Amino acid sequence: MGLLWPIYLLLMITIPLAVLAYVLVLRRRKRYAVRYSSLSLIRQAMPGGFRLRRHVPFALMVLALALLILALSRPFANVTVASSRTTVMLALDVSLSMCADDISPNRLRVAQEAAEKFIESQERGTRVGIVAFAGIAELIVPPTTDRDALLEAAANLTTARSTAVGSAIARSLDALAEVNPDIPPIGAFVSPESGWASPVEDTFQPDVIVLLTDGASNRGVRPLTAARAARARGVRVYTIGFGTTRPTVLRCAPDQLGGDELANRIGRGGFGSFGFTGGNPLILDEYTLKRVSETTDAEYYQAGSADELLQVFSTIPVQLAKEQVRMEVSAILTAISGLLALSAVALGLRWSPLP
């Protein structure tokens, strides 16, 4: 608690002055009342409660005055609330292996539905962005509070070749840097790994990355290199390993098949020109995903069904950051003061009506 304008508390001196004036007025009335014996008899006949309640309107008016003076001093309280600056980047794997039907109808469709529910569940002030990755990582929707744009993008994801987990983290970091000046950009399309882990203040940002994949990274920058860059920038990366260990058939719906232009870009250019090749995109690399999360002080989740994936999305702690908000209570005190003053006038007119 504190006061922004404490000088106004000097006006509290009017409270004892008002009480003193009230007492003097009562004594003056008492002297005049002694001259009339009939009034003395009436006073003795009055019940004790009536003599007490006649002071209630004045007491209410004094209390109203005190609260009004306190409101003028602008009292405030520091309240800890969840940060409204939170931005969540959803990095979703759209490699061809996401068409596997071990999770009906296929992994990608279930992931899309889970992502949509996750978007709808976020607080209104939370910005969400979407990065889709296969052989390269593309920013599909920059961080925004426009739920309709996010839901439309999640529903229209299409597949392509290869899996670039590290590139997805790097692209997500650059997207966060666009809306949070405390996060230095990587410039992943320019210089892949030089200076990525440049240290910043050892605190975590309110922004997080949620990465979902069903395979192993085999294209682009190394996931742990990107994870160290995220840790240096204070960004947590929550990873989700999605799918089962059972061999399955790839069954892509027509709307999930990517165009030739995107497939060619992923097959030839992008991060593949300076990255590494390795890992089986059909086998979940839990070890690397766990290390990515551990490096960024986050958590790894494994989901082998639609229900498990929904549960994972509902438990990811995206509202990690707290901030102190100064909340003034002057308006509340003024409203209470007004109500007390009106009550004092109403009671005064009821108990001592004007002639």
- The predicted-structure confidence for 269-302, as pLDDT tens digits, reads as follows 333 333 344 445 567 899 999 999 999 999 999 9
- For residues 88 and 185, membership in a common domain is answered with yes
**Count of domains for the chain:** 2
Residue 247's identity, in one-letter code, is P
Between the two ends of the chain, the Cα-to-Cα distance in Å is: 47
- For residues 145 and 248, membership in a common domain is answered with yes
Question: Domain span at residue 14?
Answer: 2-79+329-351
Regions of the chain short of the pLDDT cut 70: 29-52, 80-85, 187-202, 247, 259-282, 319-325, 352-355
pLDDT in tens, 75-91: 887 776 555 568 999 99
* Residues in CB range of 61: below 8 A, 6 or more apart: 340, 341, 344
- For residues 106 and 249, membership in a common domain is answered with yes
The pairing of beta strand 208-213 with beta strand 236-242:
parallel
- For residues 111 and 127, membership in a common domain is answered with yes
Cα angle 7-10-15, degrees, rounded to a multiple of 5? 145
Three-state DSSP class for residue 178? helix
- For residues 67 and 127, membership in a common domain is answered with no
> CATH no. for residue 138?
3.40.50.410
Instruction: For residues 208 and 144, give the distance between their C-alpha atoms in angstroms, rounded to a whole number.
Output: 14
- For residues 38 and 111, membership in a common domain is answered with no
One-character DSSP codes across 168-189 = HHHHHHHHHHHH-TTS----TT
pLDDT at 85: 66
Length of the chain: 355
- Predicted TM-score (pTM) of this structure: 0.64
- For residues 90 and 30, membership in a common domain is answered with no
- For residues 185 and 279, membership in a common domain is answered with yes
Instruction: For residues 230 and 211, give the distance between their C-alpha atoms in angstroms, rounded to a whole number.
Output: 13
User: For residues 6 and 82, is the Cβ–Cβ distance under 8 A?
Assistant: no
- For residues 161 and 253, membership in a common domain is answered with yes
- For residues 264 and 130, membership in a common domain is answered with yes
- For residues 123 and 256, membership in a common domain is answered with yes
- For residues 306 and 160, membership in a common domain is answered with yes
